[in-house]
C-alpha cells in the first residue's frame, strides 16, 4: 500500500507549529493499552488545551462566586468574566452583539430551545418542519416531540449517495406550509459540509426562518452568522476545546424577542408578582437559574485559544489531514468510505467488508487508536446507506499525519485478524 | 497482534463468526425471541424447538459484531439437547462470567468451551454483544417474543 509507507510527506507544510500545539493538550501524551493515544474521535468531543483547564482552575481557586446576583466584589468580577465571554462568542461568530448570544448546555439544548420557544409558539397543526436526511438525533427528536404535541409534520430533504442533500428536492419541499428549516452545517456521521448559505437564501426567499446545527462547524471553520444570514445557529463548547455542559445559541434579535422563554425561574425575569411576571430582556430571558459559570469562562478561554491559532489555519490543517486520511484509507482493500461529498470536514466514516464496526473499534483501541463505532446518533443516516453502523475517524488540527499511518496500520491488522 | 494471542478474539470466536453454526430460522419453533441491542443496532432472533422440556433444536438469525454472532453460534451448539432447566442455569452462569461476576478459573461451573468468552469481562462495552443471544434464548424459554439489552 503505497500511501502509508512512503516517506515523502503528502501534506503541505502547515503554517503553525504542530508539536508546540500538541504540547498544549495534556491528554495527547496519555497512553492507552500501553500504546501512545491516537485520538481520532474529535467529532464526538475534542481534547482540552491547558489554557482552558487552567482558566477553570483559576476561577474555582481564586475567583469563585456567583454571577449577576450578589453585590460583592467577587461576584462583580465573576460577572465580568461571564458576560465578557458573551462578547468573545459574538466576535467568534461575527454576531452583531452579545445580546444575540444565549448560553445553553449544548447543541441539543439549543435546538430544544428553538423548538420550544419558536416552534411551540408559532407552529400549528398541518405546518411543516424541514430537516435534512443525515441529521443528528438532536435535530430530529425534539421536532418529532413538537409534532406529537401540535400536529405539525416533519419533512426530510433526501440525500445523494455521496451524502450531499438534494437541493432540487429541497426547493420543492419549501412550500407555503413550511414554517421552519433546521439543517446541520456539517454532518457528524459523514462529514458532508452542506451549502448552508445557499439553503438559507432559498428558505428566506419564501420567508421561512432557518436554524443551523453548527455542532460540527463552529470548531473547525470560520463561521459568520451575519454572512450566512441564519436566524439561529447552535453549537457545543465541548467539541470546540471547551468544557462539557456549555453551548451557544445565536439568534437574530427580533427572533429572540418574539420567542417564548424556555425554562422559567431566577435570573430570567424583570419582576415577579403572584399575578404576573415580566421577563428579562434577551439574552437573559432564556437563561433561568444559576448558570454553568466555570464552563462559560472555560469556553471563553477555548475560543481565545482557537482564535489564537486562527480558524483558517485550523481549517487548512484539518483539510490536509482529511485528504491524506482519505487517500490512505481508500487504498485499503475491502474498506468503503461512506460520505464522499466534494466538500467535507475532517471526518471519515467507513466500513470494512466482513468486519463489524464494533470489532474495528475494539481492535483499534488495542492499538491505542480511539475512533467511534456505531450509528453516531444518526440512525436514519445509517439506514439511508443501508449499514447498521460505521467506524468513524475524525481529525482535529492537533492530529498528525503519522497518527493516520498508525490508524491505517491498525486497520490492516484488524483485517488480518478477520481473514 | 496475531489472532492466537488476542485475549478477546480467540480463534474459536473468529471461526464461529465466519462460519456460524445453526444459522437459520426454524419453520415451526415452539418458542422464539428477537433480541435487540439499541445501542449498536445488533439484532438476533433465537428459535427453539422444545420437546418434553428439552431443547431439541436451537437456531438463530440476525446480524451483529463477531462477539455477538460467535456467542449466538456457540450457544446453539452448546445448548442443543440440554434441558430447559439446564439451559437456564447455563444462561445464568454465562451472564455472570461475561460480567466478571463468576471466575471460571476458581469457581465450579457448567460452561465448558463457552469459557472462550471469559475475557469479555475485560471489555465492558462488549458485554452486551456477548449476552444478546443468551438473553433472547432465555426470554424465548419464558415465551417472551421481544427483548432488548437495555
Ligand atoms: C451535528 C451534531 N448535532 C448535534 C449534536 C449534539 O451535541 P451535544 O450532544 O453536545 O448537545 C452533535 C454531537 O454529537 C452533532 O455532531
Which residues are bridge partners to A166 per DSSP? Answer: none
Taking the model in full, what pTM does it have?
Answer: 0.92
Neighbours of B81 (CB within 10 A): 11
User: What are the strands, taking DSSP E only, across A305-346?
Assistant: 335-338
B27-37 pLDDT, tens digit each:
999 999 999 98
- Write down all domains in chain B, each with its CATH number in brackets: 3-142 (3.90.1010.10)
Per-window interface: B 6-35 vs A, CB < 8 A: 6, 8-9, 14, 17-18
Count Cα neighbours of B88 within 13 Å in the Cβ-side half-sphere.
9
Where are chain A's structural domains?
18-43+311-417, 53-308
**Subunit contact A363:B1, Cβ cutoff 8 A:** yes
- The minimal CB distance from B129 to the residues A354, A358, A375 is found for A358
The confidence score (pLDDT) of residue B135 equals 96
Atom of ligand 1 nearest to the CA of A135: 1
Cβ of A388 under 8 Å from any chain B Cβ? yes
B69-82 pLDDT, tens digit each:
999 999 999 999 99
Per-window interface: B 40-99 vs A, CB < 8 A: 40-42, 63-68
Chain B closest CA to A187's CA: distance in Å?
19
User: What b/e sequence results for A205-241 when a residue is b if at least 16 CB atoms lie within 10 Å of its CB, and e otherwise?
Assistant: eeebbbbbbbbbbbbbbebebeebebbbbbbbbbbbb
The confidence score (pLDDT) of residue A6 equals 46
Structure confidence at residue B106 as a pLDDT band (50, 70, 90): very high
Please report where in the chains the cell 492507552 appears, as a residue: A32
Burial class (CB in 10 A: 0-12, 13-18, 19+), B2: exposed
Cβ of A382 under 8 Å from any chain B Cβ? yes
Q: Is residue B20 within 8 Å of B65, Cβ to Cβ?
A: no
Cβ of A237 under 8 Å from any chain B Cβ? no
Question: Is A241 a residue of the active site?
Answer: no
Chain A closest CA to B1's CA: distance in Å?
7
- The architecture of the domain spanning A53-308 is 3-Layer(aba) Sandwich (3.40)
Cβ of B117 under 8 Å from any chain A Cβ? no
Cα–Cα dist A356/B68, whole Å: 10
Q: Does domain A18-43+311-417 have CATH number 3.90.110.10?
A: no
Is there an atom of ligand 1 within 6 Å of A216 CB? yes
Q: Is residue A302 within 8 Å of A240, Cβ to Cβ?
A: yes
Cβ of A359 under 8 Å from any chain B Cβ? yes
Closest CA to A185 of A40, A384, A43, A380: A43
Is there an atom of ligand 1 within 6 Å of A245 CB? no
Q: Is residue B70 within 8 Å of B13, Cβ to Cβ?
A: yes
- The minimal CB distance from B66 to the residues A359, A373, A379 is found for A359
The confidence score (pLDDT) of residue A419 equals 86
Structure confidence at residue B145 as a pLDDT band (50, 70, 90): confident
Cα–Cα dist A220/A315, whole Å: 6
Which residues are bridge partners to A351 per DSSP? Answer: A336
Average confidence (pLDDT) per 10 residues, chain A, 419 residues: 47 71 97 95 98 98 88 89 97 98 98 98 98 98 98 98 98 98 98 98 98 98 98 98 98 97 89 90 95 98 96 96 98 97 98 94 95 91 91 98 98 94
Taking CA atoms only, the protein residue closest to ligand 1 atom 7 is A107
Q: Is residue A183 within 8 Å of A135, Cβ to Cβ?
A: yes
The confidence score (pLDDT) of residue A12 equals 53
Is there an atom of ligand 1 within 6 Å of A215 CB? yes
- The minimal CB distance from B66 to the residues A356, A382, A389 is found for A356
The confidence score (pLDDT) of residue A101 equals 98
Strands A128-132 and A35-36: unpaired
Model ipTM value? 0.87
> Is residue B15 over pLDDT 60?
yes
Amino acid at each position: 500500500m503505497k500511501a502509508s509507507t512512503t516517506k515523502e510527506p503528502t501534506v503541505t507544510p502547515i503554517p503553525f507549529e504542530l508539536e508546540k500545539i500538541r504540547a498544549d493538550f495534556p491528554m495527547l501524551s496519555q497512553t492507552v493499552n500501553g500504546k501512545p493515544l491516537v485520538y481520532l474521535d474529535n467529532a464526538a468531543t475534542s481534547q482540552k488545551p491547558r489554557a482552558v483547564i487552567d482558566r477553570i482552575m483559576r476561577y474555582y481557586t481564586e475567583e469563585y462566586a456567583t454571577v449577576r446576583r450578589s453585590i460583592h466584589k467577587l461576584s462583580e468580577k465573576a460577572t465580568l468574566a461571564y458576560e465578557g465571554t458573551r462578547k468573545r462568542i459574538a466576535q467568534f461568530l461575527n454576531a452583531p452583539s452579545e445580546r444575540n448570544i444565549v448560553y445553553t448546555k449544548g447543541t441539543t439544548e439549543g435546538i430544544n430551545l428553538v423548538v420550544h420557544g419558536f416552534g411551540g409558539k408559532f407552529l400549528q397543526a398541518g405546518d411543516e418542519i424541514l430537516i435534512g436526511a443525515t441529521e443528528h438525533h438532536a435535530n430530529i427528536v425534539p421536532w418529532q416531540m413538537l409534532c406529537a404535541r401540535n400536529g405539525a409534520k416533519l419533512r426530510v430533504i433526501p440525500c445523494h449517495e455521496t451524502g450531499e442533500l438534494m437541493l432540487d428536492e429541497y426547493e420543492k419541499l419549501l412550500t407555503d406550509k413550511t414554517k421552519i428549516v433546521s439543517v446541520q452545517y456539517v454532518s457528524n456521521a459523514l462529514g458532508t459540509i452542506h451549502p448552508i448559505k445557499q439553503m438559507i437564501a432559498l428558505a428566506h426567499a419564501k420567508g421561512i426562518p432557518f436554524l443551523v446545527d453548527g455542532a460540527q462547524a463552529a470548531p473547525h471553520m470560520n463561521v459568520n452568522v451575519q454572512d450566512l444570514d441564519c436566524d439561529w445557529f447552535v453549537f457545543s463548547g465541548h467539541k470546540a476545546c471547551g468544557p462539557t455542559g456549555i453551548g451557544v445559541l445565536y439568534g437574530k434579535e427580533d427572533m429572540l424577542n418574539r420567542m417564548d422563554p424556555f425554562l422559567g425561574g431566577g435570573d430570567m425575569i424583570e419582576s415577579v408578582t403572584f399575578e404576573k411576571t415580566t421577563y428579562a430582556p434577551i439574552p437573559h430571558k432564556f437563561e433561568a437559574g444559576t448558570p454553568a459559570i466555570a464552563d462559560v469562562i472555560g469556553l471563553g478561554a477555548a475560543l481565545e485559544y482557537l482564535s489564537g491559532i486562527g480558524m483558517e489555519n485550523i481549517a487548512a490543517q484539518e483539510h490536509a489531514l482529511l485528504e491524506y486520511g482519505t487517500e490512505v484509507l481508500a487504498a485499503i482493500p475491502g474498506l468503503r468510505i461512506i460520505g464522499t461529498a466534494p466538500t467535507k470536514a475532517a471526518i471519515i466514516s467507513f466500513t470494512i467488508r466482513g468486519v463489524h464496526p464494533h470489532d474495528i473499534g475494539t481492535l483499534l483501541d488495542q492499538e491505542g487508536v480511539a475512533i467511534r463505532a456505531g450509528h453516531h446518533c444518526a440512525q436514519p443516516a445509517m439506514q439511508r446507506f443501508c449499514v447498521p453502523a460505521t467506524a468513524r475517524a475524525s481529525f482535529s488540527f492537533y492530529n498528525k499525519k503519522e497518527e493516520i499511518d498508525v490508524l491505517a496500520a491498525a486497520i490492516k491488522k484488524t483485517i488480518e485478524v478477520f481473514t | 497482534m496475531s489472532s492466537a494471542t488476542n485475549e478477546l478474539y480467540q480463534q474459536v470466536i473468529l471461526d464461529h463468526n465466519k462460519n456460524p453454526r445453526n444459522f437459520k430460522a426454524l419453520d415451526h419453533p415452539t418458542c422464539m425471541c428477537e433480541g435487540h441491542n439499541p445501542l449498536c443496532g445488533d439484532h438476533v432472533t433465537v428459535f427453539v424447538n422444545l420437546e418434553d422440556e428439552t431443547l431439541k433444536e436451537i437456531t438463530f438469525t440476525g446480524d451483529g459484531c463477531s462477539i455477538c454472532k460467535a456467542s449466538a453460534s456457540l450457544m446453539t451448539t452448546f445448548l442443543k439437547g440440554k434441558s430447559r432447566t439446564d439451559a437456564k442455569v447455563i444462561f445464568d452462569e454465562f451472564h455472570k462470567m461475561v460480567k466478571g461476576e463468576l471466575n471460571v478459573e476458581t469457581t465450579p461451573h457448567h460452561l465448558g468451551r463457552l469459557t472462550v468468552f471469559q475475557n469479555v469481562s475485560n471489555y465492558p462495552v462488549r458485554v452486551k454483544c456477548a449476552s444478546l443471544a443468551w438473553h433472547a434464548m432465555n426470554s424465548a424459554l419464558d415465551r417472551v417474543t421481544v427483548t432488548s439489552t437495555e
